[in-house]
Structure 1
Amino acid sequence: MASSAQSGAGPTEEYRYPGNRLGLPEAGPGSVAGWARRFGALLADWLLAGLIASAVVGKPIWAGGNDFNTAQLVIFFAMSAILTGLAGATIGHRLLGLRVIRTKGGGTGYAAQVGLLGGAIRTLLICLVLPAVIFDKERRGLHDLAAGTIVVRR
């Protein structure tokens, strides 16, 4: 069977690189973020939430415990949902040159504002872990698909 490139089908439906079908560039600003940067941003945000939780519960970060773990999760959720929804990036995203944008429906293109609801949906699913590790060719996890977002380079 002939490939879509040989049969003359439009290149917008053909998969060439992550973000291609959404109209995003292959490299540089606006391109889909790689896994290393995304994981680094998540780690930075989780550690920052741990430092804040440590101050809130009055225990060092290495002491752990149920009260610390709960505080860290709640702070991570609030920090990530609000910053992603209103600013388009968490502190970890900013440090690693990333931003979260909202895709427009199922077609190509994107809009910058994620919104608080989109930020909350996305962060809730990240906190559940599993949706964040199941992803598609565009490097969009279930959390991004549910919120209608994608992580791109700044």
Structure 2
Amino acid sequence: MDNRQVIGSWLSGPRAAAEDAGVDFGYRGEQLGLPEEGPGSIARPGRRMGAVVVDWALCMLIAYGLFARGDQQAMGNWALGIFFVMTVLTVGTVGCTPGKALFRLRVVAEGGGRLGAVRVLIRSVLLCVAIPALIWDRDGRGLHDRLARAVQVRI
């Protein structure tokens, strides 16, 4: 291996280097039995992040209007509480938050169907902690979804 290949593998990351060596990872969601594209496929990171931004902005707006005019710290704390309640109620009942509905996403159990109340609570708590949501598996699921055995899919 010459220096260009070594640098190229470092720049492209370990997945690309493994694929160059002949490892087949398949597509995202293949191990879960989901289609590669279209409805029911794993939601892409851009859509998921967009949905979280919309949900957080909505919660900040509600917090500002109801509780904390002028106090930024209090407004952020109230927004986090509203975000938690909104996530538990909306994902637990209809399977998506307002942001997810806007981006045409739904949270489902790994085997299909709705998440149970305990799994929704686990997922919501871990999402509010934020760090688990930033750790992704090979299918692109956050640790909060993996531990709650949930999948965000396109609808």
Deviation at 1:144, TM superposition (A): 0.5
Structure 2 contact 136–142 (Cα < 8 Å) conserved = yes
Structure 1 contact 140–150 (Cα < 8 Å) conserved = yes
Q: Which residue of structure 1 lines up, in the alignment, with residue 59 of structure 2?
A: 49
Write out aligned runs for 1:57-72 (5 A).
57-59=67-69, 63-72=70-79
Write out aligned runs for 1:124-143 (5 A).
124-143=125-144
How far does the alpha carbon of each residue in 1:14-65 deviate from its partner, in whole angstroms, 9 at most, with x for none? 6310100111000000000001000000000000001111121151xxx452
Write out aligned runs for 1:59-98 (5 A).
59=69, 63-98=70-105
Q: Which residue of structure 2 lines up, in the alignment, with residue 145 of structure 1?
A: 146
Deviation at 1:150, TM superposition (A): 0.7
Which segment drifts farther, 113-122 or 34-43?
Answer: 113-122
CA distance in 2, matches of 1:64, 1:42: 23
> Taking structure 2 as the reference length, what is the TM-score of the superposition?
0.81
Deviation at 1:111, TM superposition (A): 2.0
> Taking structure 1 as the reference length, what is the TM-score of the superposition?
0.81
Q: Is 1:21–2:31 an aligned residue pair? A: yes
Deviation at 1:122, TM superposition (A): 0.9
CA distance in 1, matches of 2:116, 2:90: 10
| Greater helix share, structure number | 2
Which segment drifts farther, 38-47 or 115-124?
Answer: 115-124
Aligned residues: 132
CA distance in 1, matches of 2:84, 2:122: 10
CA distance in 2, matches of 1:20, 1:34: 14
Deviation at 1:86, TM superposition (A): 1.5
Distance change >3 Å, CA 138–CA 64, structure 1 → 2? farther
Higher-Rg structure is: 2
Gaps in structure 1 of 5+ consecutive residues:
1-13, 104-109
Equivalent residue in structure 2 for 1:33, among 22, 43, 47: 43
> What percent of counterpart residues are identical?
39
Gaps in structure 2 of 5+ consecutive residues:
1-23
